[in-house]
Homo-oligomer: A and B are copies of this chain.
Amino acid sequence: MSAPVYQKTVSAPVNIAVIKYWGKRDVGLNLPSNSSLSVTLSQNDLRTLTTASCSAAFEEDSLWLNGAMESMCESPRLSVCVRELRKSRLELEAKNESLEKIANYKLRVVSENNFPTAAGLASSAAGFAAFAQAICALYELPWTPTELSRVARQGSGSACRSLFGGYVSWEMGEQPTGADSVAVQVAPVEHWPEMRVAILVVSAAKKGVSSTAGMQATVATSSLFAERARNVVPQRMVEMKNAIRARDFASFAQLTMKDSNQFHAVCLDTTPPIFYLNDTSRAIIRAVESINSSVNGYAAAYTFDAGPNAVIYFLEKDSDLVLTTLRSVTQNAEGWEKADFKPVESSEFLNLEPTVIDTISSGVSRVILTRVGDGPQVLPDTESLVDTQGNPKL
């Protein structure tokens, strides 16, 4: 009889920051130079599905990512997460005799995204969140998401924010150990469920500087970065939380756009300069400004992470206007076939130069439409990515 295989399957969401994380005060512990705040996106459209399994029969810790096996011990960031979770399971087993002694079994973790990696979306947050959450569930650790966020953070900083649904802050903390550098829910989905999201995937010739290398170059060389981290972001965190609590989209939008721009500004103030925005990104910014001008206010807010893709937030009530405009400038992009909105007469509001439209149209390859969503879910074994022997279902 073969050794039993223990397993748990979870899904975890992508999150997109509206107050940006950029810069570490401690690289080893993934402690940030400033707090950040994000919106969790719906797992119906973007999610990582992960099964964590363990068994006396497994010979090494291993990870299967989108069908390819990787050794877990080669990733120090994964190893540190596993070490902490395993240690906690051991303590739990020591305290509770009735628990199975599985802590020292080798782990096999199988993970898949429901969106193409080629889309260039930052999937590491969802990936590390799912990884930590799956092992936490497998080990039956009685942790809150905030407690688990301390572990996930060490895998990938922004992963900690994917442990909650809705609107989530990552409080930078003060302790050198990072014990207080954790994620906290600002508001659940239900508080402001009308928040919608359009992601414009921009084809880039090549990925730019990796974010870990980039952020440390900024910390080391930008003479404006310290001002941002020390004085600007703390104030914006307060304002953004207030905007979310008050469901004040105008303030949310202004802060989101300002903070995206400032993040890219400190990238440009880095030596050598880091550029993530390209001409397509800049043209999308103009299109969003045009949408906002047409309503004499704020119907949409752009934000850009470490790449040229645009993420555009808007409210349900403005979706016809926003999506009509976006579709009119991204006719060639995949993804519109699933869109559900009522086109409005675009000539009334669209005041864009032809070169702006051409630049967007030729640069955007795909559109992903989604909305604010829930945090990680523990799923029934029917969703498992391993068979009863613990072999990945490929």
Q: Given that A206-B355, A227-B224, A227-B227 are contacting pairs, would A268 and B273 also be in contact in the complex, using a CB cutoff of 8 Å?
A: no
Q: Please indicate the chain B residues that have their CB under 8 angstroms from the CB of A279 in the complex.
A: 278-279
Q: Mark A157-194, 1 if CB is under 8 A from B, else 0.
A: 00000000000000000000000000000000000000
Q: How many copies does the complex hold?
A: 2
Closest-CB distance, A231 to chain B (whole angstroms): 8
Q: Please indicate the chain B residues that have their CB under 8 angstroms from the CB of A25 in the complex.
A: none
Closest-CB distance, A346 to chain B (whole angstroms): 21
| Candidates B231, B268, B289; contact of A265 at CB < 8 Å | B268
A269 to B355, CA, bound (A): 24
Residue of A223, A254, A278 with most partner-chain B CB within 10 A: A223
Q: Is the CB of B273 within 8 A of A285?
A: yes
**Is A353 an interface residue, CB under 8 A from the partner?**
yes
Q: Mark A340-375, 1 if CB is under 8 A from B, else 0.
A: 000000000000010100000000000000000000
With both beta carbons as reference points, the residue of chain B lying nearest to A254 in the complex is identified as B271
Q: Is the CB of B261 within 8 A of A269?
A: yes
Q: Is the CB of A262 within 8 A of B355?
A: no
Residue of A232, A273, A275 with most partner-chain B CB within 10 A: A273
**Is A257 an interface residue, CB under 8 A from the partner?**
yes
Q: Is the CB of B262 within 8 A of A269?
A: yes
Q: Given that A224-B227, A227-B227 are contacting pairs, would A261 and B282 also be in contact in the complex, using a CB cutoff of 8 Å?
A: no
**Is A238 an interface residue, CB under 8 A from the partner?**
no
Within 8 A of B (CB), among A259-293: 261-262, 264-266, 268-273, 275, 278-279, 282, 285, 289
| Candidates B262, B271, B285, B355; contact of A224 at CB < 8 Å | B262
| Candidates B205, B206, B232, B278; contact of A223 at CB < 8 Å | B232
Q: Please indicate the chain B residues that have their CB under 8 angstroms from the CB of A264 in the complex.
A: 268
Q: Please indicate the chain B residues that have their CB under 8 angstroms from the CB of A257 in the complex.
A: 271-272
> Besides A223-B262, A261-B270, A279-B279, 10 other CB < 8 A contacts?
A206-B353, A223-B231, A224-B232, A224-B262, A224-B269, A257-B272, A258-B271, A262-B268, A272-B285, A275-B282
